[in-house]
Amino acid sequence: MISKEVWGRIIRDYLEWDVKLVERNINYSIPKVQRALVIIGPRRAGKTYFMFQIIKELLKQGVRKEETIYINLEDPRIIDTTLDDLLDLLDVYYSQFPENVKGHNYFFLDEIQTVKNWEKFVRFLLDKNQRVIVSGSSSTLLSKGIATELRGRSVPIRVYPFSFREILVSHGIKVDRFYSTYEEAKIKKLLRGYLVWGGYPEVILDFSLRREILREIIDLTIYKDIVERWGIVNIKALKLLFRMLAFSTHLSISKAYKNLKGIGINVGKTTVANYLEFLEDSLVFYPLRALIKSYKLQELYGFKPYLVDNGLLTSLGVQDEGRLLENLVFTELLKSDLEPNRDVFYYRRRDGKEVDFVILEKGRVKQAIQVTYELNESNYEREIPALIRASKELNCRDLLLITWDQEETIKKKGKEIKVMPLWKWLLSK
């Protein structure tokens, strides 16, 4: 049971808290009807600061700070908050600001999934015509609450680590159509850092501590979000599986199981499947499936594993530039509001030829994207024919090959392939 004195202190602490922000380029609007804004994203991606960005905008619009309240449900003072505790919070808030009882107040509830039956409290607030903004780092727990108590009463928004465009803005570089020689050199230098160290806000703001920050994020994701939440016993297997995801270009449950067994890890295939599901639920891992109608073949081909940020790959030991480049392209597609295995797939022919990404729009393939660090003699016959064949089979004319720094147009067999440097592609989105 959390005392009302503690709630009162937390409210006062918030009112005195002045947060320095790096504003995110995220489109949002707070629903004016009885709907909650649900912010979903991995740990340390910037959900909290995005909440404060929204608060800052509200204050600019004339909302008094006392009409807003921010609660971090992982504050050590309020660990194990219950539904009754949240109702006590409401009593304390209105006792401090009785003039707000009949008004439209803004409730910001951070990491809400830590509270059992949180959705009932949110629904209670919505029924009282309050504005509610919640955040969480568990896609499963949030979706369950939304599917039950909040069906039709929530607007989801996803927050990921910084995009490259946001990184440029944070360094004072205006995104434009044309750049000076100096600006282009600076952009490429920042891109090199982004390729290797990713876009977690804390890494961008304190680059000198990037290694320590990324290790801490991995530990927090594995130990707090997965081990504690799901009661994991075989922590070693989970860690090795996460590392396997970082280094693998293709994987399946069976292959992961065999790999673990091969190094002496005693774990069942069902356990491996569960661990993969838990990693996906924590929003750090995304399995990309093949675009194919046959479910049996899709399962046979397995998935291409991607992590939510390149910094995680580097922290786990990945150095291959091609792997880093492909993962970065995937994460930027994510940040463009494309849903894996709905809007984005990879394409594989029966002869094994692959295209890294195909983008769907209204059920049709809109674009095929191949990614390679450098197009050269050794990989030309693998990358280009795969795109051309995919173009014919998928009836897709928009063919793109993303490289680190090459730019040209390739015309072959009646098809046109645009070869584009990574930095230009990132800034064209």
How many residues are listed for the chain in this entry? Answer: 429
**What are the CA-CA distances from residue 11 to residues 66, 106, 154, 241 (Å)?**
9, 13, 25, 41
Q: Which of 61, 44, 46, 56 is nearest to 18 (CA)?
A: 56
**pLDDT tens track of the chain, all 429 residues?**
899 999 999 999 999 988 877 788 888 888 877 899 999 999 999 999 999 999 999 999 999 999 999 999 999 999 999 999 999 999 999 999 999 999 999 999 999 989 999 999 999 999 999 999 999 988 876 676 676 677 888 888 999 999 999 999 888 888 877 788 888 899 999 999 999 999 999 999 899 999 999 999 999 888 888 998 899 999 999 999 999 999 999 999 999 999 999 999 999 999 999 999 999 999 999 999 999 877 777 777 899 999 999 999 999 999 999 999 999 999 999 999 999 999 999 999 878 889 999 999 999 999 999 999 999 999 999 999 999 999 999 999 999 999 999 999 999 999 999 999 999 999 987
Rounded to whole angstroms, how far apart are CA atoms 23 and 51? 11
CA distance 331 to 309: 7
Amino acid at 175: V
Residue 9's H or E segment, with its range, is: helix 4-16
The predicted pLDDT at position 268 comes to 96
The rounded distance, in Å, linking the Cα atoms of 163 and 151 is 31
Dist CA 331 CA 188 (whole Å): 18
Beta bridge partners of 346: 290
Q: Would you state the pLDDT for residue 152?
A: 82
Question: Which pLDDT belongs to residue 125?
Answer: 96
How far are the Cα atoms of 338, 346, 359 from residue 342, in angstroms, in the given order? Answer: 8, 11, 9
Model pLDDT, residue 146: 72
Q: Using CA atoms, how far apart are residues 190 and 423, in angstroms rounded to an integer?
A: 10
Residue 122 tokens, joined: 């949110």
List the structure tokens of 191.
Answer: 């891109």
Domain ranges of the chain: 4-158, 181-428
The correct answer on CATH 3.40.50.720 for the domain covering 181-428 is: no
Q: How many CA atoms lie within 13 Å of 419's alpha carbon, on the beta-carbon side?
A: 17
pLDDT of residue 163: 95
Burial class (CB in 10 A: 0-12, 13-18, 19+), 216: middle
Between CA 81 and CA 116 the distance in angstroms is 8
For residue 308, give the amino acid letter. Answer: V
Select from 375, 373, 361, 378 the least CA-distant residue to 417.
375
d(CA 259, CA 240): 10
Q: How many helices (H) and strands (E) does the chain have?
A: 18, 13
Domain 4-158 has CATH 3.40.50.300: yes
pLDDT, position 142: 65
Residue with tokens 């990921």: 160
221, with CB counted inside 10 A (0-12, 13-18, 19+), is buried
